[in-house]
Structure 1
Amino acid sequence: MNPDDSEVKSPTIHVIREVYDSGNAHESFEAELDKALEAKVDYIIIEPTRLGDETGRWITVGNCLYKTAVLSGLSSVVSGLIWQDRPVFSAPLCAVSIFCTGLYAVSWISDPCCQYQVEKDPKKLANVPKLSEFSSPVVLALKENKKAKYFHRGVTLIASAFCAWQIYKAYK
């Protein structure tokens, strides 16, 4: 056994402090967040309220698009199986899935922020060092999302193929 394998890796943390030392402090906070996101640290603690709220909303919108695409894609396939002779039910759901997947692909996949989630679980937050130094920070946790991305795209692809086949079958 390699000695390095038995060691527990301590999480990497980056703290963005709310220090207003210039007129463009918000831009400095954003630049610091971008550096932390690119470095893929395990936890990012954001003290500036405005930046934390903006980042949290951005992640929430991305999560909403992801979930809407998956649920509408699955619903499209299920409704197509239930009403096989009526693609009118599954086609709009498939269109929603395609739209959300496309919007997610254009706006979120290239953004390093999509690899993070806002951590709200008190048990997990208890393991974040330095957190007690802040009154109400936003904590971003790095989450591996490759499988989720493939699942997301796969559901939309299957729904699209199924819907196209169903429409072809209905109008041939």
Structure 2
Amino acid sequence: MAALEVEERINPPQMDYYVIHEVYDGDFSQEQFEAELDAALEHQYRYIVIEPARLGDETARWISVGNCLHRTSVVTGIICLLTPLSLPSSSALYLGLPAGALSVACAALYGVSWQSDPCCHYQVDLSGRELALLPPGTLRTSSPVVLVRKEDTHRKRLHNFIALTALVYCAQKVFELCTDW
């Protein structure tokens, strides 16, 4: 095992990466960059380096909105499910129902807009650690956006489970409110 580690330090395994270089070639460069990104996402490279600033910023923003929806769905779903345990039942509805509705709405929006997008399998490397692993001379710009492919099946299952549980809780409470009238 130690020999394998020494071999990897001497000859690191080939990185599975793709670089979208910032080369402007005509009027349709932005569309070419986007087509290159789509092809790299479909190929499922482990690392995608985006040199064009505009495309990198748009992609990073898209990923952060998806992350925000995911986190909001999870946090508000947990709030919805924990309020009956921590607050009196009369006031738990005022926090639990809106939190549950927000959790379900965020999970539904994520499911419709992000679930099928191949970009949702990537996270932006903010640390720069992955960028340092690239071979020297690979990049033509000093501040590219680096996307790292992450396994997100468990994360998606978690937010879907919490949102569905919050939906069941909210439906039950609304039904109870309607039958009390």
TM-score, structure 1 as length reference: 0.88
Of 98, 101, 119, which residue of structure 2 is paired with 1:95?
Answer: 101
The one-letter amino acid paired with 2:35 is: A
TM superposition shift of 1:130: 4.8
- The alignment yields a C-alpha RMSD, in angstroms, of 2.1
TM superposition shift of 1:11: 2.7
TM superposition shift of 1:14: 0.5
Q: Greater CA deviation, 53-62 or 115-124?
A: 115-124
TM superposition shift of 1:79: 1.0
Instruction: Determine the structure 2 residue equivalent to 1:3.
Output: none
Does 2:161 correspond to 1:154?
Answer: yes
Give the number of equivalent residue pairs: 167
The one-letter amino acid paired with 2:101 is: A
Instruction: Determine the structure 1 residue equivalent to 2:3.
Output: none
Equivalent residue runs for 1:14-163 within 5 Å: 14-83=18-87, 85-86=89-90, 87-130=93-136, 133=139, 134-163=141-170
Contact 1:46 1:138 in 2 (8 A): yes
Alignment gaps of 5+ in structure 1: 1-6
Q: Greater CA deviation, 74-83 or 117-126?
A: 117-126
Aligned partners of 2:22 and 2:138: how far apart in 1? 15
Aligned partners of 1:27 and 1:131: how far apart in 2? 25
Residue-by-residue CA offset, 1:24-52 (whole Å, 9 max, x unaligned)? 10000000000000000000010000000
Equivalent residue runs for 1:159-170 within 5 Å: 159-170=166-177
The one-letter amino acid paired with 2:22 is: E
Larger radius of gyration: 2
TM-score, structure 2 as length reference: 0.84
Query: Cα gap change, 1:27/1:83 in structure 2, threshold over 3 Å: closer, same or farther?
Result: same
